[in-house]
Amino acid sequence: MWRFAGVDLAMARARIDAAFEAGVTLFDTADIYGFDTLGGFGSAETLLGEVFADASGLREAMVLATKGGIIPGVPYDSSAPYLASAIDASLRRLRTERVELWQIHRPDLLAHPQEIARALEEAHRDGKIGAIGVSNFTPAQTSALAHFLPVPLVSHQSEFSPLHLAPLFDGLFDQSMEQGMAFLAWSPLGGGRLGDPADERGRAVAALLDAKASEYDVSRAAATYSWVMAHPARPIPIVGTQKVERIREIPQAFIPRWTRAEWYAVLQVAMGERLP
């Protein structure tokens, strides 16, 4: 829902309805989403809250996730007072008493993990957040926060795509599997670069994805999502499109099947080198 803001209520509702029709139940937003639109900071949450107010029962049908901790110009604040105020502000904008998942959007290097844990534990105890996750954290930062929390961290949210492979090698996928954490993959299409590759590497990766897409009669995007989901950490691609027709194509991602040789072929072309 990064680009969800800036449209009228009817279009917002059409996007939500298309997602439900495609089988999507997890909706990922953040307080900063929409800050670069006329509505400013919080406008994506505000628009979603308006959809909830207009459509009785819609809120209860979804798993709602939001994030906080980024302030343009600061840039990060995970102090206990700010986190408490950010969570309350998100709930007001969303017109809900609780979100199923709340994630720290990016690590604040000036906040001690014990202070962060205290604020999140209080919000969890008060029923404002059902579960706690982290976004763009390293494994070490995640472990430090988990040490002070009485409840488990349930999710990582970080970038992963055939053009951004870091979680395969930096320990994020390993920690996700070890701790049973969900992994939410943002920019699974390489921030749009796989849709229109601008360099030789991107075109080579796209060619392999196109071969798989052609084999199963699906879109390149669906083939890419399926490649992402094939990893045993069971990454959940966060689909960022705001086009209703592309939202409807999401179920295609479950169709392709990858052999080990095919999956590793994409990886090695994306890396630009052969594995030993």
Q: Average pLDDT by consecutive 10-residue portion of the chain (276 residues)?
A: 96 97 97 96 98 94 98 97 98 98 98 98 98 98 98 98 98 98 97 92 97 98 98 97 96 98 98 95
- In a 13 Å sphere around the CA of 88, the CA atoms on its Cβ side amount to 9
Which one from 33, 76, 216, 225 is the annotated catalytic residue? 33
**69, 83 Cβ separation under 8 angstroms:** yes
Rounded to 5 degrees, what are φ and ψ at 216?
-110, 5
Query: Domains of the chain by range and CATH?
Result: 9-193+220-256 (3.20.20.100)
Per-residue model confidence as pLDDT tens digits over 53-82: 999 899 999 999 999 999 999 999 999 999
Alpha carbon 107 to chain centroid distance?
A: 16
Distance from first CA to last CA of the chain, Å, rounded?
Answer: 39
Dihedral of the alpha carbons of 265, 268, 269, 273, in degrees to the nearest 10 = -140
Could you tell me what percentage of the chain is helix, strand and coil, using 3-state DSSP and rounding each to the nearest 5?
45, 15, 40
pLDDT value at position 188?
Answer: 97
Q: Does 33 qualify as catalytic in the annotation?
A: yes
DSSP-assigned beta bridge partners for residue 66: 102
